[in-house]
Structure 1
């Protein structure tokens, strides 16, 4: 049973959060379309309810305590979740909304081209996508599921295996020219922050003596791919990214293509959402799509 003392009215929390974010009661009042005295009174009421001081008063200034700043971060997340939920309900009052965290390259190059099929088969479900490069707390962020790379080890979550990553080394045709492979591998080897062992895996799979990767470091495949196309070095790309670039002549594969990478793509979801209908529908659809296209590659 929730204790009413620790469930302040949203107007009190909104005033507190607005002052904290804007730095003054006057600025918060303008944002909330209230008078400054009303904002001050709302904060005082919140302090009385919590039994703690949130701001030190210095003449006309409100200076938040360290505890208030920590509390404010929680309140900001809570208000964001309430706003998101209200917006989703307004857009789809049937409640059929799936909020999915995606990896940028996977989302734009693998999932997005296929997502129309899911939406066509499930017209009552809205899908909201947001990129996340690293793991996060499902309960804090409010996502129903996430696309995850690595192992099936997301805390307190269930997993659906999509496919193992397979890698192809690619170079721009202009940079390749008539050079030998040995010459090409002296060029910078472009790297991804989350795949620092990828080149050593690739060298071993090719039966080549490993050399240290000394190229630029990227946080996303999209920018690394463009750097390779621009001739800044050799890129090691997942097959679902390399395929189109190779077919359209922007990049050329080196040696044996499609070698096993260092991890797997998964759909992960919190155990608390396992029976959420839009998520159940999405899982079933995604499992079918993956079963029809090994390693995420299609012949389309």
Structure 2
């Protein structure tokens, strides 16, 4: 529990933060459109409440004490978070605001980002802060509004929408295949294999779906991201098993070719995951509606300001 008697007024915090940042009461008063005396009184009241000197006077100017430097950092952080919280609270009653969104790196680069122009054209008052994650995580633990993950949420208090399935293709570069004859999936088992670390059983399932038992003797390179898997395949380091939509450009350019064996539809896919208490948050509502429609190729409700 916090001690209410030790919580200063926001006016005092604002005056102190400005004086600490600008190096004096006069400059702070000018920035805050107050008198120098008003700023000085607010700081004095803050010092009296805390029982600690925050400034010392040195040759007609004020200098932060060690306690003052510490409290200035804390006050700046508190005021910043308070302003951020206020702006995000306002956004619950509208589309505008900021969305903190975590995405899978390769999915973001290959599918999401090329389509985001359409979203921003429709929602010009929404700002998205992108970050990347490879492994599943709890958005609540990191203060993230929403995340795109390759697995549904398992923790209580999280909501998930599966908006895209997954079809895996076995591909390799023409250079890797030069001089080799691949009559069927069994011959793929003789190639070096490339694997994305969150799909450790991908190749085993692919071979099993074709009635082939992998020996495990061939080289296996493991990468954190599909983007690295794809670039390694283009470089001829091995055969890759990747979602089909991630390698369309490389297949069209002839940098990669499909290997013998059909596509494999998995029970995986891509999920929009967010805390239940964010369900009605305006920027998230706007992004969720757009994403679910865009993934299905459906018309998106046009909310572009007229």
How many Å apart are 1:81 and its aligned residue?
A: 7.8
TM-score (norm 2): 0.67
How many Å apart are 1:291 and its aligned residue?
A: 1.8
Map Cα deviations across residues 54-100 of structure 1 (whole Å, 9 max, x no partner): xxxxxxxxxxxxxxxxxxxxx8xx779839938x88xx9x9522221
Structure 2 residue 214 is the aligned partner of structure 1 residue 210: yes
Specify the alignment match of 1:290 in structure 2: 295
Residue pairs, 1:45-194, within 5 angstroms: 82=81, 85=84, 95-181=96-182, 182-194=186-198
Matched residue SS, 2:296: helix
Map Cα deviations across residues 212-263 of structure 1 (whole Å, 9 max, x no partner): 2641111011111111111111111111112221111110111234312352
Specify the alignment match of 1:38 in structure 2: 65
Whether the 8 Å CA contact 2:135–2:198 is kept in 1: the answer is no
How many Å apart are 1:132 and its aligned residue?
A: 1.3
- 1: CA distance, partners of 2:223 / 2:274: 27
- 1: CA distance, partners of 2:5 / 2:134: 38
- 1: CA distance, partners of 2:141 / 2:6: 18
Shift in CA distance, 274/216, structure 1 to aligned 2, threshold 3 Å:
same
- 2: CA distance, partners of 1:233 / 1:211: 16
TM-score (norm 1): 0.68
RMSD (Å) for aligned C-alpha atoms: 3.5
Query: How many aligned residue pairs are there?
Result: 239
Specify the alignment match of 1:252 in structure 2: 257
Whether the 8 Å CA contact 2:196–2:222 is kept in 1: the answer is yes
How many Å apart are 1:197 and its aligned residue?
A: 0.5
Whether the 8 Å CA contact 1:198–1:262 is kept in 2: the answer is no
Whether the 8 Å CA contact 1:169–1:254 is kept in 2: the answer is yes
User: Based on CA coordinates, which of the two structures has the bigger radius of gyration?
Assistant: 2
Specify the alignment match of 1:63 in structure 2: none
How many Å apart are 1:210 and its aligned residue?
A: 2.7
Matched residue SS, 2:65: helix
Structure 1 gap segments, 5+ residues each: 16-33, 47-74, 294-300
Shift in CA distance, 140/216, structure 1 to aligned 2, threshold 3 Å:
same
Structure 2 gap segments, 5+ residues each: 21-61, 299-306
- 2: CA distance, partners of 1:81 / 1:145: 21
Shift in CA distance, 139/179, structure 1 to aligned 2, threshold 3 Å:
same
